[in-house]
Amino acid sequence: MPNRILKESICTSETIDALSLEAEVFFYRLMVQCDDFGRLDARPTVLRARCFPLRLDKVTDKLVGNWLAELAGADLLWLYEIEGRAYLQVTTWDKHQQKRAKYSKYPQPPERDSNCNQVISDTSNSPREARSEKREYEKREGAGAPPARKPAKNEYPAVEVYRTAAGTYPNKTLWQSMDEAIGSKPDDLTFWQQVVTAWVAKGWNPRNLQGMFDFYKRRELPANGHVSKAIDPMAPSPTPEL
């Protein structure tokens, strides 16, 4: 694993200063574990073992999930899902780190759009490199199913917010009901994004829309609230009563 660059400006960064001390330490440990594209397996159990191998008795999966949500909320990293597995992308990686490897060890995140303030630039230098990276990853992991049709801009804003936060689209039959339930007000969409981001950061099933919506209705975040006994966070979502 190559060395990583930490600039002195990090000490006066308002974004870093707003973090809890524990989340800041976690962020630095993540930096030395990410591949040359700033990506990493984002499952809390994996991150706990890789970042805190000598503190497994003190650091829990729940703590790691909470720190992930805090870093994502500060726009220091983006959590996304490919074929049911969670990954992370450090948002400003290309600005501060050197890329030596030709291909990433992890799948490329979906392109972000204007429905979310967290914007990640394309980490590929050219369309040819992007195609090569995709073929290389599919050779290792197997080609996935084609993505669902992307809705037109502003057609379903709540669906797009969910997609950018969870890294996957919900079932197409649920798009309209989800959008009607969440609404299109900026404050509502921002809180919906926070709920989905925190839910995914805890390693819970991103397809469980009803579980996420229950937190949304209570105006609670999974990182801070509790899960009702009636909700199985890992269960697939039935057709939700959104």
Is 57 within 8 Å of 108 (Cβ atoms)?
no
Residue 206: both structure tokens together? 């991103």
Q: Which pLDDT band holds residue 206 (cuts at 50, 70, 90)?
A: confident
Q: How many domains does the chain have?
A: 2
Q: Average pLDDT in the 109-130 region?
A: 46
On the question of pLDDT at 98 being above 80, the answer is no
Q: pTM for the complete prediction?
A: 0.47
Instruction: Give yes or no for residue 128 having a pLDDT over 50.
Output: no
118 vs 222: which has the higher pLDDT: 222
Q: Are 127 and 22 contained in the same domain?
A: yes
Q: End of a domain among 105, 120, 141?
A: 141
Per-residue confidence (pLDDT) for residue 229, from 0 to 100: 45
Say how far apart CA 181 and CA 65 lie, in whole Å: 27
Per-residue pLDDT tens for 20-45?
999 999 998 988 888 888 888 999 99
Domain that holds residue 56: 8-141
% the chain with pLDDT above 90: 17
- Identify the three-state secondary structure at position 124: coil
Residue 70 shares a structural domain with residue 136:
yes
Q: CATH no. for residue 82?
A: 1.10.10
Contact (CB, 8 A) for 104 and 35 = yes
Asked which of 160-164, 172-176, 215-219 is least confident by mean pLDDT, the reply is: 172-176
| pLDDT value at residue 102 | 67
As a whole number, mean pLDDT of residues 70-93 equals 87
Instruction: For residues 80 and 184, state if they share a domain.
Output: no
State the average pLDDT for the chain.
Answer: 75
Residues 134 and 17 in one domain: yes
pLDDT at 240 over 90: no
pLDDT digits (tens, 9 = 90+) for 221-236: 886 545 544 455 555 5
Q: Quick one: 131 and 205 in the same domain? A: no
Rg from Cα positions in the chain: 18
Q: CA 229 to CA 118: how far, in whole Å?
A: 33
CA distance 242 to 239: 9
Q: Is 40 in a helix, a strand, or coil?
A: strand
Q: Which of 141, 170, 192 is the C-terminal boundary of a domain?
A: 141
Q: At 12, is the pLDDT very low, low, confident or very high (cuts 50, 70, 90)?
A: confident
In a domain, 100, yes or no: yes
Domain assignment present for 3: no
What whole-number distance in Å separates Cα of residue 26 and Cα of residue 238?
35
Query: Would 168 be classed as within a structural domain?
Result: yes
For 101-115, write each residue's pLDDT tens digit. 667 788 888 865 444
pLDDT of 106 reads: 86
Among all chains, which residue has been given the structure tokens 């609404």? 183
1 within domain boundaries: no
In a domain, 211, yes or no: yes
- Measured between alpha carbons, how far is residue 238 from residues 6, 169, 208 in Å? 46, 15, 8
Assigned domain for 158 exists: yes
What letters, b where the CB count within 10 A reaches 16 and e where it falls short, cover 56-92?
A: eeebebebbbbbbbbbbbbebbbbbbbeeebbbbbbe
Q: Residue 151: which residues within 8 A CB-CB, separation 6 or more? A: 159, 160, 175
Residues 159 and 119 in one domain: no
**Is residue 117 in some structural domain?**
yes
pLDDT at 201 over 70: yes
Question: Which one-letter DSSP state was computed for residue 105?
Answer: S
Residue 26 lies in a domain: yes
Q: In the structure, what pLDDT confidence band is assigned to residue 47 with cuts at 50, 70 and 90?
A: very high
Tell me what pLDDT residue 52 has.
94
* Residue 188 phi, psi dihedral angles, 5° rounding: -65, -45
User: Do 132 and 154 have their domain in common?
Assistant: no
Specify whether 103 is located in the same domain as 158.
no
Give the end of a domain, one of 141, 159, 180.
Answer: 141
Indicate if 153 and 131 belong to the same structural domain. no
Query: Do 95 and 182 lie in a common domain?
Result: no
Quick one: pLDDT band at residue 84, thresholds 50, 70, 90? confident
- What is the side-by-side order of every strand in the sheet holding 39-41? 39-41, 85-90, 77-82
Instruction: Specify whether 128 is located in the same domain as 182.
Output: no
Residue 87, pLDDT > 90, answer: yes
Residues 126 and 180 occupy one common structural domain: no
Give me the helix-helix angle, 186-201 and 157-166, nearest 10°.
30
